Structure 1
Amino acid sequence: MSNWKWQEGDYTVVRTCAWSPPGEHPVGWGLRLFYKDDVLHHVEGDPTNPITQGRVSIKFLELPAYNNSSERIIYPMKRDPKNRGDNSKWERITWDEAYDMIEKETRRIQKEYGPESIMTFIGTGRDLWHTVPKITFSAFESPNFNYPHNGWSCYGPRSSICVYVLGAGYPELDYATEFPELRYDDPNYVLPKCALIIGKDPLVSNPDGLFGHALVDMMKRGTELIVVDPRATWLATRAKYFLQLRPGTDAALYLAMCHVIISEDLYDHEFCDNWVYGFKEFAERCAEYPPSLASSITGVPEDLIVDAARYWATEKPGSMTWGLAVDEKVNGIQTAHLVLLMCAITGNLDVPGGVLLGGSDREAPTSWWGWEELDDDIKAKRLGAAEYPCVSTACSTTQCDIAMDAIRTDKPYPIKMTFTMSSNPIACPSADPRMVDEAMHRPDFNVFADLTMTPSCASYGDLFLPVASTGEKDGLVATHYGALTLFVAACVKGNQVGECKSDDEIMLDLGWRLNPSKFPWKDLYEFLTWELNGYGVEGTWEDLRDSELGFVTPPYEFEKYAYGLQTWNGEPGFGTQSGMVEAYCQRFADWGDDPMPYYEEPPYSPVSTPDLAERYPFVLTTGARSWSYFHSEQRHIKRLRNLDPWPTVEMNPADLERLGLADGDWVYLENMFGKCRQRVRATPIVKEGTLMAKHAWWYPEKGPDDKGFGPYGVFDANINQLVPHGLYGKMGFGSPFKCMICGVTKAEGGPDFEEGWPVNAWDKKPAYLER
């Protein structure tokens, strides 16, 4: 019996480590996949996986329904661009025909307009987020790799701030991944006394490089929590300190906490003296934000701010994990800067039990992969790079608002072809999705690579490439896209579904077609081995798959800054301009912003726009994770949909009573930018005056050709219609997805298919889904 495939009764069992699709972030659930007659029958957690230890997300328990769904598109399809929006016009083609179309259009556009007129789109990463940039830079030879989330409001601001302020890879909670055999019981492991949870609900999301259950394990062993969140999550109700703030005001809170730590002499003098650049100036900035002021801004009681700050500074070591909520505000860069400084001035960076940091020696593919192959004159045409060097210096992408403006206006040059992989812009993540939908009809040729028909592809797609799911592909998973590699594991293929291909296979196929000298690997497995070796793991991909666990944990070094492991030249220090953690960041000043973090009131709030408060009295925050879904995925899986059937907006019961609403009512959420319809859920976990609306909603059962609210009714429920395009922070990052103003009015009813749901609309298949 092999370590990765064996027989159990009637079932063939394949051991794998999951990586999307379907969604969750790159954390790698250990799975055992049970096949019967070459069809995935059921899934169990892999008890031999040292990190997940047999636990598994409900999303992956429903993997058979996902992989075997009749909604899957399992072969390439094309549609004439003149028939966009008419989903009866799709027709099946071969992969060679699909690649012929891409090659023909690529060559034509490169010749007539230049390669910069080809733009790629990506969502929350597939196969470690390297496939699309490599396709962009090396196959299409374009500089325009685009993540269509306004203000790059997911992960990008936090990752970039680490580059500029720490010169280090992504920070994360220390949950004993460096000791895979004994984990928390290893005598060398130091349990954090305190864990700071910022804008994150990891039990539901299991994001990036953190399994939510790890926090529960640590709490059982004595770790106390400080939770910062507008909602009273499960973790918040069990925290030592729960700081329930007004959405968008985080920076004021952290300035006040740092004020307490510094003014009460609770900071780590040795670390600050040796490793924090601009500490004196930062102390002066924090002095401007006493807890009383922060309390009046955030709504968090003054004594809680003081007590939480003291606890964080004295109960050491302390670890930290932060989420998307840090990014989704125009003040996001400054908020992230402050979070890192709270960790630095207390001496909690890169110490046992503290905040883990990635190093600077990683050689595996990144989102910059292929960039250096471009000519300088092509690099200079990257959209938004010159205007926003804060974005373009750390990220290989465009500034996404400016990129969409180029599609809308043909300025500074037209975009004639798009390639979209794992993104569904008009459902998630773009602001003003109706505008995006209109703009995306302008290019001559739009290619999508996905698993099911999405609203975006249904509206403006011309070519559909079918993508393989977990269990249908060989590949690798590494936490934090390799920016902090806590482990590397093999994703193992159990069966072939239709003609679906993995993202890596599509990347290689296109590369061999369009620019073979830049894709030197003879096959997928030679590429996977090269990639694996880039993480410092010896041997072949097959060796990893065949190993006892199919899993490896690279060695972790603490206090890398003291031993020259955090800099490119091998000298002690951090990989920043000053060689220190930068409280004062000269780069920010050079780019036209304050070199030190500051608080900025959200552009639309009860404070900044009091004239709008009567009409739009609520503060709206969006995007809380669901047990059932990953962003806009999985709405077609019936059991997951039964758990979370409708787009809901959470409201405090007192607000419902005041408005004459009842739990379960359908309401319109509206502001000066747009409106949508969602269903009320009465809950005390949100404060009066705050709304928490679900994001990324569309209705697969509604059909792709609905004329009232766009394909699959996407414009009925999509909360992003209330968020404006083109509103972002001074340095190009951060849009107010989590801190807008909003009004609520009762709707006459819900979507017209609500009564008697779930209806059997899934059985009414478009012609292109007939097997």
Structure 2
Amino acid sequence: MGRLSMTRRTFAKVAAVTAAALGATATAGQALAEQSDAASASAGEVKRIRSCCRGCGKMECGVWVTVQDGKVVKTEGDESAFQSAGNHCAKGQASLQAAYHPDRLRYPLKRTRPKGEDPAWERITWDEAYQLTADGIHANQEKYGKETCIFMGGTSRIWSMAPYGAFKQCFGSPNGIQANEICKGPRFYATTLNASNAYSWMEVVGRPRVFVQWGGASELSNYDDSCRMTVEVATRADKHIIVDPRQTNLGKEADIWVNLRPGTDGAVANCWAQVIIENDLIDDLYVRKWMNAPMLVVEEESFQPTPCSSAEQSASIVTRLLKESDIKEGGSDGRFMVINELTGNLSYYDTTADNPGWEGEDWTPATEGFVPQQAGLDEAGQEQGFVLDYVPFPDGLYPALFTEEGGREITLKDGTVVHVRTVRERYIDFLQDYTPEKVEEISGVAADTLREAAIIYATRIDPSTGYGNGGIQYMLAPEHACNSVQNQRACDLVCGITGNMDVPGGMRGSTPGWPYFDLAMCNPDSKEIPAYDSSKILGSENFPMIGSDCGPGWADATSIYDAIESGQPYNVTCGIGQTGDFMNQSNSLFAVEQLMKLDFWCSIDLWHTPCVDMVADVVMPAAHWLELDCIRKSQGSSGAFGATVKAVDPPGEAKNDLEIVVGIFKAAGVPYFDEATHGAKWLEGDEAVKHCNEIGLANFRILDWEDYKAEFQEKGWFDSKVEKPEDWGTYRRYQIGNGHISGGFPPTPVQRQGWNTTTHKQEIWSTVLESWLVNGVANDGKPEKVCYTDEEFTPDEVFPKYWEAPHGPVKDPDLFADDNSFLMTTGRRQGTYFHSEHRQLPWCRELWPVPRLEMNPVDAERLGLEQGDWVWIETDQHKIREVVDLYYGIAPGVVNAEHQWWYPELSQVDHGFKLSGVNCLIDRHAQDRICGSSNLRAYGVKVYKATPENSPFGNPVPCGDDGTEIIHTCDDPRLKDWMPDYESARGEA
């Protein structure tokens, strides 16, 4: 493939011209869309609004919303949106049914009866709701301290993320039950440990040559580059590989299916690394220069790890990596030693210098590079970007990846002689436990298949590009088997050693601004926002990383529920939930039992969910995405940003979450806005929304929210490659100082070369895990204990060590002794629901009326089961019912259940979540050993037929407490009761 070589400055100038041109005219696809709008508008009754769908919460699909006579009558995909290519799934199309649903929350409410009974909700004013909430929390804090309150947050709808930040700041508590503990968070944290925050995001829109889907079905739902984009990329890729215990929708078209046993992802990823290294398929220069592979490890166990300094870490880091301070009096503890292959002498990388770099290097940002020629981008109207050429080592330096046999002898400054070997050598030793033959025994995947998949992935189809075939779209499944952080570290390192970090189609991280922060979090410029004490975060008593300066940033949900029950380490008595629920992690039964004990709870939601009706004392009605204005950027690597644009007014008195958050701040007496900048500490209504969005637009070329919306309506989605050519438009940003940026913000990255780690390198050997878990910096120098066993963390935790799931067939074989024993996985993606959402939408429910348990027909025949039979799924915690769905795409002995089901049609306060809620089955203390995430997959269950004899009310179909059946057929007349109610008070925006 030919190259168009140029300098980065020239590329930036070209991009600036492109941006100017886009400001003058729309693309052809956009122009056609506008022509369609113009034709419709001639009648004077129809308005077509460009917006961003939030039907699932994990994507940024561009859509058109048609409003006729003040009502939304249609939503459809925006073909001009480069990140979604016109995609608009069933969930998105059903959004108008959600907006006009008769069961929507419309007014603020307060409970008038004790919890556990019908709440007998009473309508109140917004001022009352705000003040009851602030007073309820303050009263508990006066009695128990600031940390007594908790905040529960759901998925990443940018306007409703206050539990992740704003409420913690408003009330001074560090404790949040956050969905990211079990969704994306472990991935973000793993890449933070390895390189930089959120580099788990893959640039699918970059059209990788080899497309690897690992543990998910993004062709269906819930991922940043999903559905139509995934299908296009998969079908056009030279090779398509899926790694999954079930054959996904696209899996039947894949070139290779790595059909692993649930929970063994880490072993398979390490196997790929072993095969890639053994076959010399690594990116040698990247491994030497941008990973800590050539750094030296002191071998002797008698050596006490020593402290080190780094501009990137404020926490205590002690490591076996050899530093200048270990061998020389007065030497720097931030200079990490390597062996110069050219001379045989020691050299170093200095992390503490004013301008960090290799010995003899005067680093300046790279400038030379080329425009890639990724197939499919030009025809899709996407920018190619600019790939920086690799910058070589300084003259006279070439770090060695190997030492002599037995290691190099080094004399420490106290005269002790030790042996050192490179991190690469130690990593190779570690990987010998993960050869294809050994991993076949672990995962059930044939050794030849493992070897073939790894070689196809790593063998460059076009070596002339200088970069790999693409990253790995590793998704949710590897986070759920109690080895979440290490599983993701293993995948990240496979991408690193093959040269797929920050390259076209590779791992790029989160799209940088705009906006550069979540709008429901506080104004970062405010001088009056109180701080909270992160050292008191719940979970740190069980998981030392959670309370560390190098921690993942969340409280542990199970630890919070345990604290409510025990009062230890302190009392938890109140909180706020914002579109979050207790069904997504930990054991749902235990969770809600504890939440019902709280003295006060406020829920902000659209629906009467189980959490609202069982737990809340005050309820605040939130607006739907069709009813609000909010800036939106891609949370992943598409580079797209645009807006969700208000199409109609919300029903009753429902409000945009941004207004609600500001209102709670005001009632609490805490400024939300900086008065000097915005003219007031609190704003209301459209003014609050406008100012929140303009905070997000800071430093953009359009600063006014109305002007931004106008350009978005006319021209369509903004491309960060065009708007930020010297950042998102540039690949290999670690060579220009942008590898230190944490996710999508702050807007100005730290200008140092390399990655955001102790060593400034992508760390194969994790200095943070070594320090906190192996060397026990928080435990008097003793290795920490694993949370759910008496085992200690072992020295090889510095690498992505694989551990078996605690209730899988290896660790807990007694669970698999019976004929009706199965290994269960859950959480698969499907086209009609998003986690707990949409069960009350007729279009969705009639397509998928009941939860399904996929089972291999061989197993079903053995158990006397047929398609459509209700079955019991049982553990020692609880039992639930789902319907058998016979499927050859899942291995015998494995079943796949659906998650987060509840039944809005049941009027009882729990809405039947116990009937089919899969997380009622789990052991709440089976958790990831590093970050606390729950064991949501890869555990043993018993499955047997539901019969009249073993079912309540003599009915295998789940029923409410009064015997009312759930909706279980597509012709249930109750579905008609949920049809849109267009008569409720609302008006056109």
For residues 132-161 of structure 1, the C-alpha deviation after alignment (integer angstroms, 9 at most, x for no partner) is 334322322222122168xx2211110111
Compute the TM-score of the two structures, normalised by the length of structure 1. Answer: 0.90
2:864 pairs with 1:651: no
Shift of residue 361, structure 1, vs aligned partner: 8.7
1:545 corresponds to? 709
Q: Distance in 1 between matches of 2:662 and 2:199?
A: 28
For residues 108-144 of structure 1, the C-alpha deviation after alignment (integer angstroms, 9 at most, x for no partner) is 2232222211111011132266433343223222221
Aligned length: 739
Query: Out of 734, 750, 757, which is 1:561 matched to?
Result: 734
Query: Out of 161, 186, 200, which is 1:157 matched to?
Result: 186
2:196 corresponds to? 167
Q: Distance in 1 between matches of 2:138 and 2:222?
A: 42
2:938 pairs with 1:739: yes
2:563 pairs with 1:411: no
Change (3 A) 1:171 1:605: closer
2:41 corresponds to? 7
Query: Out of 463, 475, 498, which is 1:323 matched to?
Result: 475
Contact 2:187 2:198 in 1 (8 A): no
Change (3 A) 1:133 1:411: same
Shift of residue 637, structure 1, vs aligned partner: 0.8
- Output aligned runs, 1:187-198, within 5 Å: 191-198=207-214
Contact 2:41 2:47 in 1 (8 A): yes
Q: Distance in 2 between matches of 1:361 and 1:453?
A: 35
Q: Distance in 2 between matches of 1:215 and 1:379?
A: 39
1:343 corresponds to? 495
Specify the code of the residue in structure 2 equivalent to 1:513: A
Contact 2:108 2:125 in 1 (8 A): yes
Shift of residue 658, structure 1, vs aligned partner: 0.5
Query: Out of 605, 621, 625, which is 2:808 matched to?
Result: 605
Per mean C-alpha deviation after superposition, the further-off stretch among 447-456 and 379-388 is: 379-388
Q: Distance in 1 between matches of 2:554 and 2:471?
A: 30
Shift of residue 756, structure 1, vs aligned partner: 6.5
Specify the code of the residue in structure 2 equivalent to 1:42: K
**Alignment RMSD:** 2.7
Q: Distance in 2 between matches of 1:363 and 1:488?
A: 8
Specify the code of the residue in structure 2 equivalent to 1:460: V
Shift of residue 597, structure 1, vs aligned partner: 0.9
2:162 pairs with 1:131: yes
Name the SS for the 1:286 alignment partner: helix
Q: Distance in 2 between matches of 1:362 and 1:541?
A: 12
Contact 1:174 1:355 in 2 (8 A): yes
Shift of residue 763, structure 1, vs aligned partner: 7.6
Q: Distance in 2 between matches of 1:134 and 1:310?
A: 43
Query: Out of 692, 705, 709, which is 1:527 matched to?
Result: 692
Per mean C-alpha deviation after superposition, the further-off stretch among 638-647 and 514-523 is: 514-523
Q: Distance in 1 between matches of 2:701 and 2:893?
A: 52
Change (3 A) 1:136 1:396: farther
Per mean C-alpha deviation after superposition, the further-off stretch among 600-609 and 358-367 is: 358-367
Contact 2:212 2:472 in 1 (8 A): yes
Shift of residue 373, structure 1, vs aligned partner: 7.5
- Rg bigger for which structure? 2
2:117 pairs with 1:91: no
2:509 corresponds to? 357
- Output aligned runs, 1:459-608, within 5 Å: 459-480=614-635, 484=637, 486-496=639-649, 497-520=651-674, 521=678, 522=683, 523-533=688-698, 536=700, 538-547=702-711, 548-555=714-721, 556=728, 557-567=730-740, 569-592=750-773, 593=793, 594-608=797-811
For residues 415-441 of structure 1, the C-alpha deviation after alignment (integer angstroms, 9 at most, x for no partner) is 22111111121xx20332111121111
2:244 pairs with 1:229: yes
Change (3 A) 1:129 1:83: closer
Q: Distance in 2 between matches of 1:737 and 1:222?
A: 32
2:56 pairs with 1:23: yes
Shift of residue 409, structure 1, vs aligned partner: 1.8
Name the SS for the 2:872 alignment partner: strand
Change (3 A) 1:373 1:324: farther
Compute the TM-score of the two structures, normalised by the length of structure 2. Answer: 0.71
Q: Distance in 2 between matches of 1:266 and 1:763?
A: 59
Query: Out of 69, 87, 93, which is 2:101 matched to?
Result: 69
Shift of residue 403, structure 1, vs aligned partner: 1.3
Q: Distance in 1 between matches of 2:528 and 2:184?
A: 26
Query: Out of 667, 676, 684, which is 2:871 matched to?
Result: 667
Q: Distance in 2 between matches of 1:49 and 1:551?
A: 6
Shift of residue 219, structure 1, vs aligned partner: 3.6
Contact 1:358 1:484 in 2 (8 A): yes
Change (3 A) 1:377 1:701: closer
Contact 1:14 1:492 in 2 (8 A): no
Change (3 A) 1:538 1:703: same
Contact 1:168 1:359 in 2 (8 A): no
Contact 2:872 2:945 in 1 (8 A): yes
Q: Distance in 1 between matches of 2:615 and 2:853?
A: 29
Q: Distance in 1 between matches of 2:838 and 2:879?
A: 24
Name the SS for the 1:41 alignment partner: strand
Specify the code of the residue in structure 2 equivalent to 1:735: S
1:50 corresponds to? 82
Q: Distance in 1 between matches of 2:53 and 2:578?
A: 15
For residues 23-66 of structure 1, the C-alpha deviation after alignment (integer angstroms, 9 at most, x for no partner) is 331x2221221222322212122233233233211111111111
Change (3 A) 1:422 1:295: same
Q: Distance in 2 between matches of 1:377 and 1:633?
A: 32
Contact 2:853 2:884 in 1 (8 A): yes
Q: Distance in 2 between matches of 1:101 and 1:354?
A: 49
2:603 corresponds to? 448
Specify the code of the residue in structure 1 equivalent to 2:129: A
| Identical positions, percent | 27
Contact 1:508 1:524 in 2 (8 A): no
2:922 pairs with 1:723: yes
- Output aligned runs, 1:210-225, within 5 Å: 210-225=225-240
